[in-house]
Amino acid sequence: ISVQFSTQQLQQQQQQQQQILNYQQQQSNHVENPAVDRMELYNKLLTHFNEQGQTDAEKCWRLVVICLILSDLQLKNKNKSEAKKWEEEAFKYAKKAVELDPKSMNVHKWYCAAVGRMAPHVSTKERIQMGHQFKEHRDIAVSIDNNDQLMHHMYGRWCWEVANLSFMERQIAKAFFRYTT
């Protein structure tokens, strides 16, 4: 009886894991599908996240992704103020996701994306601080999964941005952060 019960438990666990994987794939497909109403998807995801007491790191980083997509859509419509609001929303969820699951590669990856999107909206000093945050979270993400292509792409862009700092920005970085380039 105990072996049969264990087999049933194992089957139930496998079914639950498959349901979770199916849900995750469905969410990813919705985000990438241009026919899906992104605002509706955001509202559904936010509702699920809130219903679970804002404790699901995976839903939280997915909120970051959808907020960044909504920002992109606003930029296409030349609505910079709305785009900035979505980027701020993404950054808020990115910070929350790191609190919820500091060992998730996706959490750190999307934190980096959110930080990168916020950088143009802040002062030089804050932008340099965000650069350090980006580097810190990038290093964590890569230590978890070194094969993520998007993470390497974002790091390449970060290196390019650092290489293109103006003389004054470099001096500020050196003065405040003992940072040399």
What is the reported pLDDT for 1? 46
168 token code pair? 């004054």
SS3 104: coil
| Domain span at 21 | 1-35
pTM for this entry: 0.74
CA distance linking residue 55 with residue 40, whole number of Å: 21
Same domain? 17 vs 88: no
Same domain? 20 vs 41: no
Same domain? 23 vs 86: no
Closest among 126, 180, 178, 128 to 158, alpha carbons compared = 128
Give the residue carrying structure tokens 């909120």: 63
Same domain? 42 vs 131: yes
What total number of domains does the chain contain? 2
CA distance linking residue 91 with residue 79, whole number of Å: 19
Same domain? 25 vs 54: no
Same domain? 87 vs 138: yes
The CATH number of residue 42's host domain is: 1.25.40.10
Same domain? 12 vs 89: no
State which amino acid sits at residue 56.
D
CA distance linking residue 132 with residue 162, whole number of Å: 11
Q: What is the pLDDT along the chain (181 residues), one digit of tens a residue?
A: 444 556 776 677 676 666 655 555 555 555 555 556 788 888 888 898 888 888 888 899 999 999 999 999 888 889 899 999 999 999 999 999 999 999 999 999 999 999 999 888 888 888 888 888 898 999 999 999 888 888 888 888 888 887 887 888 778 777 766 654 4
CA distance linking residue 28 with residue 168, whole number of Å: 42
Same domain? 124 vs 160: yes
Same domain? 128 vs 75: yes
What is the reported pLDDT for 85? 95
Same domain? 151 vs 163: yes
State which amino acid sits at residue 166.
S
What is the reported pLDDT for 180? 46
